[in-house]
Amino acid sequence: MELLYGPIRNYAWGSRSAIATLQGRPVPSDEPEAELWLGAHPGAPATVDRDGDRVSLVDLLLAEPGHWLGEQVVDRFGTRLPFLLKVLAADAPLSLQAHPDPDQARAGHAADAARPEAQRNYVDPHHKPELLVALSSMEALCGFRDPAVSAEVLAAFGVPSLEPVLTALRAGPAGLSDAVRLLLTWPAAERDALVSAVASAPGGGLDAELARDLAAAYPGDPGVLVALLLNRVRIAPGEAIWMPAGNLHAYLRGTGVEIMAASDNVLRGGLTPKRVDVDELLRVLRFEVLHDPVVRARDVAPGVVCWPVPVDDFALHRVRVGADLPEVTLPLAGPRVVLCGAGGLMVDDGTGKVALAPGQAAVGPAAAGDLHLSGAGEAYVASCGLR
């Protein structure tokens, strides 16, 4: 193992305290810190030390794919790390978004090659399923809820112009596509008034509170209304949200460890000043009810849990060691990234020992052996999901 240095992405919705506190830096940070990236995505690759210089993990993988990735990973994914580990820290809502499945990503990326850059939706040919494990209490919007419930919620605002949307929702899941299209293509001249009418409607409850909060942050944005069609989810530390392809979602607030397939393909549906391609979003979305997006941890071994997901791009384990369990051995095949979430850890995979403090990470190659963790703390271990 060797130390891995991840870049921090300074998006406006980020926290000025969460990642800085995790890493033991002064609070507040100079800028909002939204995401710590720990991987080899070309958009913001992590680095390692080589003779006093920082070298991109991307370059190391390309130079020695057999050593770093292993034959099985190269055969399945090519000469790239198929997963990206992040720390996500949200003090404000992220954009409503969905991600394509593998076929949609390949076709979309190929089609975008002939389009001007400003009109492209797909930056790579890969899918982007993702798992988010809460470090703090987190709130999110995840997938469509029962459209009959959404119709009741919107009707309670008492806004007559929403009647066509209510009619679509009362048709059940078959009407979800029409409802979303109506909301996202509402005439711009009337959109501000509609969002304002919903946000200022009398009444309480979580949905009214959500509409007011989102409208204050994104006045006139149709995503304020689309958000009311989604499940509002609260998860405690250790619980996770699984977002497969085609599910509209937005993280509202909180801090978590996120692992995903290494892609940056995002189709946005609102709560953003960025481009929204309604037609492409509707083509990618799954218009079905998502009954329960929450994934509970599963015990693997003493001190070790995982959150099972149905993809082979990644797997995530949490390992806890301490006085009662001073050392844990985790059998792994393929490349691995270890993030220290708390305490102090020593990690060793036979290629080298690395001491980790909170917020520090290490990377190890496929050529290494089992991962040994000792000390007193908590680690999140990202690896490939290949068996």
Q: Which residues, other chains included, contact 139 with Cβ-Cβ below 8 Å and sequence gap of 6+?
A: 232, 233, 234, 251, 252, 253, 254
Task: Report the alpha-carbon distance of residue 188 to residue 178 in Å, rounded.
Answer: 18
Specify whether the CB–CB gap between 206 and 115 falls below 8 A.
Answer: no
Cα 216 to Cα 31: distance, rounded to the nearest angstrom? 21
- CA gap 44, 121 in Å, rounded: 19
List, by residue number, the catalytic residues: 268
CB crowding 181-202: b at 16 or more within 10 Å, else e = bbbbebeeeebeebbebbbeee
How far apart CA 4 and CA 57 sit, in angstroms, is 9
Q: 52: which 2 tokens?
A: 């006093």
Helix extents (H) in 251-341 = 278-284
**What are 310's two structure tokens?**
């149905």
To the nearest 10°, the Cα dihedral for 249, 255, 259, 261? 40
What span, in angstroms and rounded, lies between the C-alpha atoms of 157 and 116? 41
Name the percent of the chain in helix, strand, coil, to the closest 5.
30, 35, 40
Q: Among 295, 305, 289, which Cα is nearest to 130's? A: 295
| Cα distance between residue 208 and residue 48, in whole Å | 48
